[in-house]
Chain A
Amino acid sequence: MTTVNDALKTMDYGPSPEANDHVLTWLAHGKRQFGHFIGGRFVPPSSGEHFTVTAPANGVRLAAVAQGNSKDVATAVAAARRAGKRWAALSGNARARYLYALARLLQKRERFFAVLESMDNGKPIRESRDIDIPLAARHFYHHAGWAELLSTEYADYGPVGVCGQIIPWNFPLLMLAWKVAPALAAGNTVVLKPAEFTPLTALAFAELCAEAGLPPGVVNIVTGDGRTGELLVTHAEVDKIAFTGSTEVGRAIRVATAGSGKKLSLELGGKSPFVVFDDADLDSAVEGVVDAIWFNQGQVCCAGSRLLVQESVAERFHRKLKARAAKLRVGDPLDKSTDIGAIVADVQLRRISALVEQGRREGNDCWQPDVALPNTGCFFPPTLFTGVAPASALAQEEIFGPVLVSTTFRTLDEAVALANNTRYGLAASIWSENLNVALDVAARVKAGVVWINSTNLFDAAAGFGGYRESGFGREGGREGLFEYLKLRQGTAVRAPRSAGAKRTLTTSPIATTAVAGEPALDRTAKLYIGGKQVRPDSGYSYSVLSAAGKPLGQAGLGNRKDIRNAVEAANAASGWSAYTAHNRAQVLYFLAENLEQRGDEFATRLRTLTGSTPRAAREEVARSIERIMFYAAMADKFDGAVHPTRSRNVTLAMPEPWGVLGIVCPDSAPLLSFVSLTLPAIAMGNRVVVVPSTSHALIATDFYQVLETSDVPGGVINLVTGDSQTLATTLAEHDDVAALWYCGTRDGLAMVERAAAGNLKATWRPPVENGDWSGPVAQGNTFLRQATQIKNIWVPYGD
């Protein structure tokens, strides 16, 4: 027994356990066994099977939880479907009342949820108490507001329907809140599958839903492992899948949902850079590292796991960092003085250990403080690797543990290059007291969330989500709600399933009847790549026919190498993204001017290609000119927002272009559809690789002459004609294409979405029905939103 005298000598903190008796009582009340929560009540799994959930800190069994099978999933989806109509028909105010009640109840049960979360997940009670649960409640409050405002703020939108939501084990209740709150606010109903390691707070939340009087079926919770998740993903009656978890599983979900018409948002892994410049407040940056990688045992998708530190301060910074890390306390998650709790499960601990071992074997310098670890349970000490080269697996692989890898840089440019040298793009933390430096890096880093002189700041009012293979879609804020909404008009995809018999393109000469008199001078339509007219790599051309089936000329038969060249040209044209919006607008206006000048020529071409009436052809040209002017006008007006998050802080939500965007055009309204797709993309600063309509390719090849006279820089618009489905496949597979818009058959879309899983590029099928490109849905903010992704930059200020 430690006496006061002893304690006076050591001045230790001593144990400070958070009581868990209330949670134990709750567990005992349910006899430590849980069913699914379906249709407003707990039901046993139809298989009768349960799995065991244990506390990672000590291996103690917490409960047996239902293993969901296909019948359970089907029942839950049916319950959600049944509840959907009435839920969506409720007034926004009524839905707001439910969400407000959930927020309030969560707050009133905050300690219960915090203790349960720490027991189930192993995270320190300090974090569940001060971060997870308050943020979860905040999310419900925020979205109670959106429910209220939906009809005015999102007048053209309605709910998607039944949302299948699959959440990870690192922030179980918080991720539930991120999923459930916006879904409900927007009028959707939910089937949520918590992670099998950590289902307990979700089950407690189910009870909270009942306590709040939420109508049965609005929230359903089905527990189980990856198989259950897969059943949810593939269930035909689910309209949207929202997933947070590993990039590997995200990719599998992208493949599994390809062509299903399900809306999809993915929040995946990361290897986020933490950049420290020589003019940073180094002591504060050290604390930033603690909050970045030694928060939640490093099991954070946006963890600042790659430290990039300027050479001139690296030694000093590492010294400070080690001194700080030595103060971290690893141990009992329920002890109020614990900094690092338990790794969620043995399998994760083994994975972390293996990666660290591999890093050691590769010869990296590994440092761990001399901290005491508990004898049992899943614990791993804070770990720092210094001098890690980008070529090391440590610098590329997401470790998902308390392991930081450090690399030095010499210049700002090098810092940016290193920061972006990753497949991921979730978050970045930048430390410099020079605003010029910090904002320059913030603008150039490929990440959905950027924290300046801070890290891991979250708020329901700001969007969160990644670039690149960290996924797509945003959660939180105004931008996040779109993931749970669809346009009331025009979103039904009524594309034909397939194009019918495979189109064969005629690449051999076609004999035509000679026309009396002197022949017109032959015109050669080429591909247009990097601002140059180029012959197709294949050396083939195919005949383009009139509506009446007569040959009108030949278009180049582009192949995968042409796509490759076009993507390279588009990548090289990055200067376009750096143009001022005003300059882009000027180029676009000039484009409209030049198209108008040649309006008659395009109308004639349309008439012969499509067989439309002269009036309709003139009309299509006129609409196209208007559309160009619309996007010229929007180029400097589609702007971002400053989210109200923390005090003394601006959170800038900046729409940024994807970079290289692929566009596969439809056959309908070939000029207007081409313009409707290409112009919003380039207005926002993207460079595009466009596959024009195969059958009407000549309208696009005519168009490049307008491009050439309009000061559109080479590489901004690249045109590859040929078999559009074949070319779409190459584009969809291309890892250097960031997003792809596809107008075609449902089978084609399925193929594109499957292929897009490679680099997890965002794909989009524009919501234009029945080829009506003149209608209101074929133009507007929907296109601009799809042409951009939101980067949230957090800038705390004050002196």
Chain B
Amino acid sequence: MAHSLSPADASNATGPARYTLSAHGSARNPGMPLNLDRIESARVNLSAVERRAATLVTRRSVKKQWQAAWLIKAITCIDLTTLAGDDTPHRVARLCAKARAPLRSDLVSALKLDAAPTVGAVCVYPTMVRAAVRALGDSGIPVASVATGFPTGLVPLKLRLAEIRYAVDEGAREIDIVINRALVFAGEWQALHDEIAAMREACGDAHLKAILATGDLRNLRSVYRASWVAMMAGADFIKTSTGKEDVNATLPVGLTMVRALRDYGEETGYAIGFKPAGGLKSAKDAMAWLMLMKEEVGNRWLEPDLFRFGASSMLGDLERQIEHYVTGRYSAANRHPLA
């Protein structure tokens, strides 16, 4: 078979020896030349994926202190995001303050946490990066910037690359790029690969998170293929959505992407991060995604270097649920500081 993936094939294609995901190092994915066979042999069955996605969350339940821990874990994985036309440096500064202290200090004390949680990153438009960097100061929280003509990507490549370089120069340590959907529809995998590889190069040391805009891609096979192209082009993370498509992060899409990165890890030895984004509103959503990661790729993907939520409103519900755990009473939004 052309897509046979014996150990020998994998090491020929990529260099590193086979490995198991749990034993991976933290080396950055260097990418590889496009392997067209790997793309074309992709098989994803929608009904079966939906069935697994539906039962993933009914097979597991987390209660009490474990639930509290999971909710806190979710906070640490949030890319606290503002991507609105009315963003201003002040608004961004407020968001950053929340990013540094996402959970009320009395709750942190009541939970006797070893360390107060902070979010995974703050995600903004390129022109807001500087304000975010300033506001986050020495917190260690990275600033992520969308780039490449977000959210459509329909800007000349030269400008998209320039935008990446601008954001990096402003101090962004992560770049959330959008892929060119037209290339997916046309099956121009090489062109897609080359574009993303160029973006990766433009990122330099900043990590590249490739937004597939899965709501536009429509079918899961395309999602799986685009995931692989992005990873082969050197993406550090693959991300579902811009938040601007009609359909945002769904569990079947997430499952497909996670399976893709798992396959990529098994075949190359590189651990790729995953970021569902858009439409994530509730603590229940957070629990479902964490379960998906734990079940499909293990605890290593419950850490912010390999897993992020692209969300803004979800944090509020997490805070309320954590307060409920602490007090035993249902909480209200106005009891928690705004972002």
**Which of B1, B48, B59, B221 neighbours the largest number of chain A CB atoms within 10 Å of its CB?**
B48
Question: CB of B152 within 8 A of chain A?
Answer: no
Q: Are B4 and A312 in contact (CB under 8 A)?
A: yes
Question: CB of B101 within 8 A of chain A?
Answer: no
Looking at B107-115, B175-183, B329-337, the stretch in contact with chain A turns out to be B107-115
Expressed in whole angstroms, the Cα–Cα distance for A796 and B54 within the complex equals: 15
Expressed in whole angstroms, the Cα–Cα distance for A131 and B64 within the complex equals: 26
Contacts of A291 in B (CB 8 A): 51
Q: Are A4 and B299 in contact (CB under 8 A)?
A: no
Q: Count residues on chain A whose CB falls below 8 Å from chain B CBs.
A: 44
Contacts of A281 in B (CB 8 A): 43-45, 48-49
Q: Which residue of B lies closest to A434 (CB)?
A: B43
Q: Are A453 and B45 in contact (CB under 8 A)?
A: yes
Interface secondary structure of B, over-half rule: helix
Closest Cβ of chain B: how far from A310's Cβ, in Å?
9
Expressed in whole angstroms, the Cα–Cα distance for A288 and B45 within the complex equals: 12
Contacts of B66 in A (CB 8 A): 2, 7, 12-14
Contacts of A8 in B (CB 8 A): 69, 72-73, 113
Q: Which residue of B lies closest to A311 (CB)?
A: B1
Q: Are B219 and A799 in contact (CB under 8 A)?
A: yes
Q: Are B48 and A288 in contact (CB under 8 A)?
A: yes
Contacts of A433 in B (CB 8 A): 43, 45
Question: CB of B327 within 8 A of chain A?
Answer: no
Question: CB of A282 within 8 A of chain B?
Answer: yes
Contacts of B290 in A (CB 8 A): 11
Q: Are B299 and A278 in contact (CB under 8 A)?
A: no
Expressed in whole angstroms, the Cα–Cα distance for A688 and B286 within the complex equals: 63
Expressed in whole angstroms, the Cα–Cα distance for A150 and B299 within the complex equals: 56
Q: Are B47 and A454 in contact (CB under 8 A)?
A: yes
**Pick from B48, B69, B113: contact of A284, CB under 8 Å:** B48
**Pick from B47, B63, B65, B72: contact of A648, CB under 8 Å:** B47
Q: Which residue of A lies closest to B5 (CB)?
A: A316
Closest Cβ of chain A: how far from B299's Cβ, in Å?
5
Q: Are B61 and A336 in contact (CB under 8 A)?
A: yes
A173-222 with Cβ < 8 A to chain B: none
Closest Cβ of chain B: how far from A796's Cβ, in Å?
4
Contacts of B299 in A (CB 8 A): 10-11
Q: Are A4 and B47 in contact (CB under 8 A)?
A: no
Contacts of A91 in B (CB 8 A): none
**Pick from B51, B69, B259: contact of A454, CB under 8 Å:** B51
Contacts of B4 in A (CB 8 A): 312-313
Q: Which residue of A lies closest to B53 (CB)?
A: A287
Q: Are A453 and B47 in contact (CB under 8 A)?
A: yes
A-facing mask of B67-87, CB < 8 A → 1, else 0?
111101100000000000000
Q: Which residue of A lies closest to B48 (CB)?
A: A284
Q: Are A14 and B62 in contact (CB under 8 A)?
A: yes
Contacts of B52 in A (CB 8 A): 284, 287
A271-327 with Cβ < 8 A to chain B: 278-285, 287-288, 291, 312-313, 315-316, 327
Question: CB of B272 within 8 A of chain A?
Answer: no
Closest Cβ of chain A: how far from B234's Cβ, in Å?
24
Closest Cβ of chain A: how far from B131's Cβ, in Å?
31
Q: Are B62 and A16 in contact (CB under 8 A)?
A: yes
A5-B113, A287-B48 given; A11·B43 CB < 8 A: no
A4-B72, A280-B43, A327-B295 given; A16·B51 CB < 8 A: no
Expressed in whole angstroms, the Cα–Cα distance for A327 and B21 within the complex equals: 14
Closest Cβ of chain A: how far from B220's Cβ, in Å?
8
Q: Are B47 and A798 in contact (CB under 8 A)?
A: yes
B-facing mask of A1-33, CB < 8 A → 1, else 0?
011111110111111100000000000000000
Q: Which residue of A lies closest to B6 (CB)?
A: A315
Question: CB of A746 within 8 A of chain B?
Answer: no
Q: Which residue of A lies closest to B290 (CB)?
A: A11
**Pick from B46, B59, B259: contact of A337, CB under 8 Å:** B59
Closest Cβ of chain B: how far from A624's Cβ, in Å?
50
Question: CB of B60 within 8 A of chain A?
Answer: yes
Q: Are B70 and A11 in contact (CB under 8 A)?
A: yes
Closest Cβ of chain B: how far from A757's Cβ, in Å?
39
Contacts of B220 in A (CB 8 A): 799
Closest Cβ of chain A: how far from B1's Cβ, in Å?
5
A280-B43, A797-B47, A798-B47 given; A4·B69 CB < 8 A: yes
Contacts of B49 in A (CB 8 A): 281, 284
B-facing mask of A499-525, CB < 8 A → 1, else 0?
000000000000000000000000000
A281-B48, A287-B48 given; A4·B61 CB < 8 A: no
A2-B66, A4-B112 given; A799·B46 CB < 8 A: yes
Expressed in whole angstroms, the Cα–Cα distance for A25 and B294 within the complex equals: 37
Expressed in whole angstroms, the Cα–Cα distance for A13 and B6 within the complex equals: 34
Q: Are A11 and B294 in contact (CB under 8 A)?
A: yes
Question: CB of A791 within 8 A of chain B?
Answer: no
Contacts of A278 in B (CB 8 A): 1
Expressed in whole angstroms, the Cα–Cα distance for A544 and B291 within the complex equals: 79
18 A-B Cβ contacts within 8 A?
Answer: A4-B68, A4-B72, A7-B70, A8-B69, A13-B60, A14-B65, A14-B66, A14-B67, A126-B59, A280-B43, A281-B45, A284-B44, A284-B49, A284-B52, A285-B48, A339-B59, A453-B47, A454-B47
- Counting from the closest, the 8 A-B pairs by CB-CB distance are A14-B66, A7-B69, A284-B48, A796-B47, A336-B61, A16-B61, A281-B45, A798-B46
